[in-house]
Homo-oligomer: A and B are copies of this chain.
């Protein structure tokens, strides 16, 4: 059986032809160009569908369903993106629009929800029924599967782990609330703090690695400077892992899933990040960390595999 998975991002529309086991048979992408409006974006989704199938010598008539993973708040039931800041989407009927091109089941879910679905199908969370992904990127995204089913709260607005307050009156979050987990554990938060450090100490290796251009500082550079023994970077990474551990402690105490998959750019640090992280997570009760902590295995492909097959986990 064939399925199409479309990972709609702020920069690219990535799509893939996927089989029942989560293998990507064909992959392609087009730039999103978000400011052109949703109709042109959805039209390009159909262009991708045609390219994927013709490259495999089949037609869209042989495809069973299309799944779309979108950033932001999604109304899966009605196939509407309620709000997605970086797409300039507000109440956009993505499913209905794509239905103009194809008469087949079309599903819409949040991109992080799709990512954890992908990891369950063929990645780090394979076979798990209770799994959560935390993506560490521009923001902190989260996708939650409980007992094999997608969890987004009673009205599709829950599951926002990035917006759990972990420090009352703390750093301002992009959501307008101070102290959210995202304001400490996103790559953006680490970059913000590294820039503050670079202003205070222009001799830090962080700045050297960024060609002495404060605007070129990224999360990888901070980790690299840390591995090179730079004292400022060590302090930043240490503090970053502290906060990340607090957030994951909360996830464990709330959900106690079988696995937490860490995704997003920062997850590429792998075990160098996970080893100290696991030690700093403090589960309530038995105190023993039963939940497995792992990094994403599928990376960017998780979104394609997951959006194609996430319908199997819908409530």
Contact = CB atoms under 8 A, between A and B. Distances in A.
Interface of A: 73, 82-83, 129-130, 146-147, 151-161, 163-168, 170, 175-177, 179, 242-243, 246, 249-250, 252-258, 282-286, 290-291, 315
Given A129-B154, A285-B83, A165 B249 contact: yes
Contacts of A254: 153, 158-161, 164, 254
Contact of A255 (B158, B168, B243, B256): B158
A147 B46 CA distance: 35
A160 B253 contact: yes
Nearest to A282: B177
Given A154-B258, A156-B256, A160-B284, 19 more contacts: A82-B285, A82-B286, A130-B153, A147-B315, A153-B254, A153-B255, A154-B255, A155-B256, A155-B290, A157-B283, A157-B285, A157-B286, A158-B254, A164-B253, A165-B249, A166-B167, A168-B242, A168-B243, A179-B246
So how many copies of this chain end up in the complex?
A: 2
B255 A165 contact: no
B163 A166 contact: no
A164 B283 CA distance: 10
A242 B177 CA distance: 13
Interface centre among A156, A250, A291 (most CB of B within 10 A): A250
A83 B151 CA distance: 29
Contacts of A166: 165-168
Contacts of A129: 154
Nearest to A290: B155
Given A73-B286, A151-B146, A158 B253 contact: yes
A216 B221 CA distance: 57
A239 to B, nearest CB: 10
Contacts of A165: 166, 246, 249-250
A151 B254 CA distance: 10
Pick the 6 closest A-B CB pairs, nearest first: A153-B256, A158-B256, A130-B154, A163-B284, A160-B253, A163-B253
Contacts of A285: 73, 82-83, 157, 160
Contacts of A157: 256, 283-286, 290
